[in-house]
Structure 1
Amino acid sequence: MQASEPPAPDMNEVVGRDDLLLLTLDTLRHDVAVELAAAGRLPNLTAHLPGGTWEKRHAPGNFTYASHQAMFAGFLPTPAAPGPHPRLFAGRFAGSETTAGRTFVFDTPDLVTALAGHGYRTVCVGGVGFFNKQGALGNVLPGLFQESHWAPEFSVASPTSFEAQVACAERIVAGLPAEQRLFLFLNASALHQPNWFHLPGATREAGDGPETHAAALEYIDRHIGRLFAAMRSRRRCFAIVCSDHGTAYGDDGYTGHRLGHESVWTVPYAHFFLEPSA
């Protein structure tokens, strides 16, 4: 049974008061995320998911670049049920049917710039190639932020990518003045192919599949507590954890993403507060 949509906080109160975390688990399939949570294989994530379950949503794009452009404009994954569904963030434009009283409305072209204007330090910790800053295209999304980080050890080819990304995030938080609000965006690359090396005994020749995808999510769960601890270390943090799109592993003959299949469009989503350490 699909869990009910969690109540949305008043983002006009959250923005300016709390730190903000947007963690995209790049390429994470909804069915794999739900199965692992139900089986108790994601103890650190499910401890924070409302009701211990993922919310089923529809991605705003079917590959990383399109989906993140939409999310940075305020179009987070949409609840997978008839709407309209009020959004947490929205650019001001006439006729919007998903802007409500609790929506943080901004006048800039994107949310990142808007948060900078509200006194946030905006920081990107990149993962997949669209964040690698190694060409014009790889600079577009990181270029929205005041500060951005990418290194080969954050990439899809690294078996320790998430650990390296979390270590970077820890350094960022530790280096900020106590009074400085932070918007941290982290794009976790571990689930994106290749992910076979996260499953013991798997081989490059056998390639990726739902089992290696699941192993990559378990890998992220083993280290996500460090990220949450860093983000709650200074004040309360409002966290959004979601996938930007799924991916197909032979579903109905499809492989990969940037295509219109249920395995790609359906994503897991959650938002919650990380309360400050006692």
Structure 2
Amino acid sequence: MPLTEPDMNEVVGSHDLLLITLDTLRYDVAAELAATGRTPRLASRLPGGVWDERHAPGNFTYASHQAMFAGFLPTPAAPGPHRRLFAARFAGSETTAAGTYVFETPDLVSGLAAAGYHTVCVGGVGFFDKRGPLGSVLPGYFQESHWEPEFGVPSPTSFEAQIDRAEQVIAGLAPGRRLFLFVNVSALHQPNWFHLPGATREAGDSRASHAAALEYVDRHIDRLFDAVSGRGPAFAIVCSDHGTAYGDDGYTGHRLGHQAVWTVPYTHFFLEAP
């Protein structure tokens, strides 16, 4: 079932916005778990219970998020052109059309701030840790940004800690202020062996532990959706920024041009106020 493409000019200003990147999540793993009932909460948000197959705008976190923050979300894995939800105004864009929200700034985050949104980043992987100049670039787009070691890749409870912080931010925001909340979920990224029962540090990460990490995220993600929708109507985008290889054709990791890295899951949907 194809995704319905909303007119974002009607959404921006009337809805809160939530962008979740499930960092490093492979499309094939996401699709398999949805089809076999292992991620029921996420699957319930997908049209027909199926993820949209897309191509990532970059093959590692920094490149992909720079593109997404400029309005280049993952592209449908089919011949285009495909209308984008958001785009900076520039001449000759073939993917800006009626229904695209066009912003006048260099990036989506500042464009939404100019439209009256309070922009918040809850970081996850190292490119959001603010521990040095490189880790400060992406969170620096936002008016408010958060990162703690408990949010990071080595933490087996990272997503729960990120949701705790998101709930605190939401509780402190004026009810009439529109919110753009971005959450970079670190749980899928290596190391993830500790999410798979019986796995060991010595055995390392695997496609199976990657899948177990997605099951962990699924167990908690409704709490994040509920926190956002508790403020009023919202529009959510959930996707991966890139995949990762676990020995596929001899490749391991990402920042490389393998199908397992370029192909990512994507969906978007409305969150209605309770």
Q: Same fold (TM over 0.5)?
A: yes
Shift of 1:107: 1.2
Shift of 1:7: 2.1
TM-score by length of 2: 0.99
Secondary structure, counterpart of 1:143 in structure 2: helix
- Aligned twin of 2:64: 67
Unaligned residue ranges in structure 2 (runs of 5+): none
1:7 aligns with 2:8: no
CA distance in 2, matches of 1:7, 1:101: 14
CA deviation string 1:60-100 (max 9, x = no partner): 00000000000000000000000000000001111100001
- Aligned twin of 2:179: 182
- How many residues align? The count is 274
Unaligned residue ranges in structure 1 (runs of 5+): none
Equivalent residue for 1:33, pick from 14, 30, 51: 30
Equivalent residue for 2:227, pick from 227, 230, 255: 230
Shift of 1:219: 0.1
1:55 aligns with 2:49: no
1:121 aligns with 2:129: no
1:207 aligns with 2:204: yes
Shift of 1:21: 0.2
CA distance in 2, matches of 1:226, 1:274: 12
Secondary structure, counterpart of 1:28 in structure 2: coil
CA distance in 2, matches of 1:171, 1:156: 21
- Aligned twin of 1:78: 75
CA distance in 2, matches of 1:17, 1:52: 27
Secondary structure, counterpart of 1:34 in structure 2: helix
Q: Which runs of 4+ in 1 moved over 2 A?
A: none
Shift of 1:41: 0.6
Equivalent residue for 2:165, pick from 155, 161, 168: 168
- Aligned twin of 1:244: 241
Could you say what the CA RMSD is over the residues aligned between the two structures, in angstroms?
0.6
Equivalent residue for 1:152, pick from 149, 152, 160: 149
CA distance in 2, matches of 1:118, 1:94: 22
- Aligned twin of 2:255: 258
TM-score by length of 1: 0.98
